[in-house]
A and B are shown apart, each in its own frame.
Chain A
Amino acid sequence: MKVREKISHLQLGCLLFGYIAGFESLFLTETKLMKQDVWIANVFNILIGIALLGIITYVQRQFPGYKMTEICDKLLGKWLSKIMLFIYLLSNLESASGGFRAVSMFYTTVILPNTRSDYLILIYAVCSTYAVYIGLGTLARTNLIIIPFFLIGFLATCLFIIPEIQLNPFLPQLQSSKSDIAIGSMHLFTFTFSQLITFGFLMSRVENMKKIFTSCAIAILMSGLYLVMISYLTLSSLGFNYVETSTYPFFSTIQLVKLGEYLERIEILLIGLWTVLTMVNIIIMQYVFTLVAGHVLAISKMKPFVLAIGLLFFVHASKSYIRTADHFTYGTKIYPISSLLPCVVFPVVLGLITLIKKKGNIKAS
């Protein structure tokens, strides 16, 4: 694990897009809940995501040259910072384990029904541990190669799905109740931009810090647009009833893509690209976990710990969310609440303390 390698603001933005685009298209839970009004959840999500990004980049800009973990120490004091970072580590482990389980569940349900999910998680964990070992720069460059292929694949899917669209699925508007909108928005935010704090820990590694906000805001907008587009395509091509009962609605949508009479099952290509993006998600979580754990435990060199943390991610994921129903219930009921403290309260507190300290310094001077 190389510690000092820098990445560009564009690479960070692309990582953020890959991070969101990979996972969020899997279940489309908020689309099942809100149907034609899902765009409202997306608009809320983008606005809150940009606000959260603004807070995190503001904190980072006040302490250029410092890592987010060091900034936490400066703002909260050593022990409170350690407690908050430890809570973040638990949240990170929770998210990554959920991610491992979701991907393995998808593969064992749709593609490899006779394979044990533990073996799939093991393969994933080996890949992510190797990626953490070779470093963030390599991951960022790999992601830059993957994203154009993913976008081309997605564009092709859109073009092939368009003939299936009969009616505008977003009409009639405003049919969902306020509680459904609140729950849908909260759910979408939890699984997408609430994890911006994870990217906060990578911001000190960006060469041009002034451009982080712009590039990440563009990534947030693009991710939001992508989510609206896949919801539109899925609802319009499959219909409300099918979307509500399907476990993986977007996968069912891309199964409709056919080129001529003989070239079918193009979705496998797209799933390959999508799998790499889900890997990006898990690798970033594991990478940041390694960084933060190194700081919390005051470890001098993290290299020997990379394999141990990879093992921890594997064993924890293989022992968590074993029953599919429990995984869904946890994702919709517990995870949106448990992630509030480390992913929303934590950056907001950091932002407030930075603001108060800055005002205090101005008054003192």
Chain B
Amino acid sequence: MLNEALFVGSLCYGVVSFFLLNKKGKRYDAVIIFLLSCFIAGYNAPFIEGKWPTVEILYSGLYKSLSQYIFQQILIK
């Protein structure tokens, strides 16, 4: 329920902010806030099912082997 509300809420916020900022002549800001809202909505989209990227997933993939190597070296020494 919370997920669906946030999905719809963030999309609505993005669309409303886009039009408000566009009306003030800040087209670039309007596009950025719309894209950001769409990205946020992606986290709660019912059809994505938890596959949206998080820093945890990204960094676990990037640093896992380096972390294992460093901790192994510390323990060996």
* Interface hits, B28-77 → A, CB 8 Å: 28-29, 32-33, 36-37, 39-40, 43-44, 50, 52, 54-56, 58-60, 62-64, 66-68, 70-71, 74-75, 77
The answer to whether the Cβ of A297 comes within 8 Å of any Cβ in the partner chain is: yes
Q: Does B21 contact A (CB under 8 A)?
A: yes
Given A118-B2, A308-B17, the answer on whether A93 and B29 have CB atoms closer than 8 Å is: no
| B67–A315 CB distance below 8 A | no
Question: Which one of B29, B33, B55 has the highest number of Cβ atoms from chain A below 10 Å of its Cβ?
Answer: B55
- Report A300-340 CB contacts with B as 1/0, cut-off 8 Å: 11001101110110111011110000100010011011100
List which B17-33 residues lie within 8 A (CB) of chain A: 17, 20-21, 26, 28-29, 32-33
- Which of these, B36, B50, B63, B74, contacts A312 with CB under 8 Å? B36
Interface pair B13/A307, CB less than 8 Å apart: yes
Query: How many whole Å from A107's CB to the nearest CB in chain B?
Result: 17
Q: How many residues of B contact A (CB 8 A)?
A: 38
Q: Are B33 and A308 in contact (CB under 8 A)?
A: yes
A80 cross-chain contacts in B, Cβ below 8 A: none
- Complex CA–CA separation, A312 to B37 (angstroms): 8
Structural contact, B77 and A311, CB atoms closer than 8 A: no
B-contact 0/1 string along A64-93, CB 8 Å cutoff: 000000000000000000000000001101
A183 interfacial contact with B, CB 8 Å? yes
Point out the residues of chain A lying under 8 angstroms from B66, CB to CB. Answer: 337
| A304 and B56 within 8 A (CB) | no
Contact A179 B60 (CB under 8 A): no
Give Cα distance in the complex from A77 to B50, angstroms: 37
The verdict on A110 contacting chain B, using a C-beta distance below 8 Å, is: no
Q: Mark A16-29, 1 if CB is under 8 A from B, else 0.
A: 00000000000000
Point out the residues of chain B lying under 8 angstroms from A320, CB to CB: 54-56
- Chain B residues with CB under 8 Å of A299's CB are 28-29, 32
Chain A, residues 169-182, CB within 8 Å of chain B (1/0): the string is 00000000011001
Complex-state Cα separation, A320 to B68, whole angstroms? 21
The residues of A that contact B29 with a CB separation of less than 8 Å are 299-301, 304
CB-defined contacts of B37 to chain A, threshold 8 Å? 308, 311
Q: Does A97 contact B (CB under 8 A)?
A: yes
Interface of chain A residues 220 through 260 with chain B (CB within 8 A): none
* A90, closest chain B residue (CB): B55
Min Cβ gap B59→A in Å is 5
- Select A316's contact among B20, B32, B43, beta carbons within 8 Å: B43
Contact, CB under 8 Å: B71 / A333:
yes
A204 to chain B, nearest CB (A): 23
**Nearest Cβ in chain A — how far from B20, in angstroms?**
7
Check: A267 CB closer than 8 A to any chain B CB: no
A300 to B28 Cα, complex, angstroms: 9
**B-chain residues with CB within 8 Å of residue A309 when the two chains form the complex:** 36
Judging by beta carbons under 8 Å apart, are B6 and A311 in contact? yes
Instruction: Report yes or no: A304 in contact with B55, Cβ–Cβ below 8 A.
Output: no
> How far, in whole Å, are A280 and B64 apart by their CA atoms in the complex?
30
Cα of A227 to Cα of B58 in the assembled complex, Å: 32
Is there an interface contact between A304 and B40, defined as CB atoms closer than 8 Å?
no
Interchain CB contact under 8 A, A316 and B55: yes
How close is A234's CB to chain B, nearest CB, in angstroms?
A: 25
Contacts of A312 in B (CB 8 A): 36, 39-40
Minimum CB–CB distance from A294 to chain B (whole Å) comes to 10
Q: Which residue of B lies closest to A96 (CB)?
A: B55
Contact of A334 among B10, B50, B67 (CB under 8 A): B67
Q: Looking across the interface, which residue of chain A has its beta carbon closest to that of B50?
A: A319
B54–A334 CB distance below 8 A: no
- Residues 112-154 of chain A: 1 if any B CB is under 8 Å from the residue's CB, otherwise 0? 0000001100100000000000000000000000000000000
Q: Which residues of chain A are within 8 angstroms of B14 by Cβ–Cβ distance? A: 308
Check A304–B62 contact: CB distance below 8 A: no
Whether A321 and B17, one on each chain, are in contact in the complex, defined by CB atoms closer than 8 angstroms, is: no
5 intermolecular pairs with C-beta atoms under 8 Å apart: A119-B2, A304-B33, A311-B13, A333-B68, A334-B67
Task: Give the top 5 A-B pairs by smallest Cβ distance, nearest first.
Answer: A315-B43, A94-B55, A338-B59, A320-B56, A337-B67
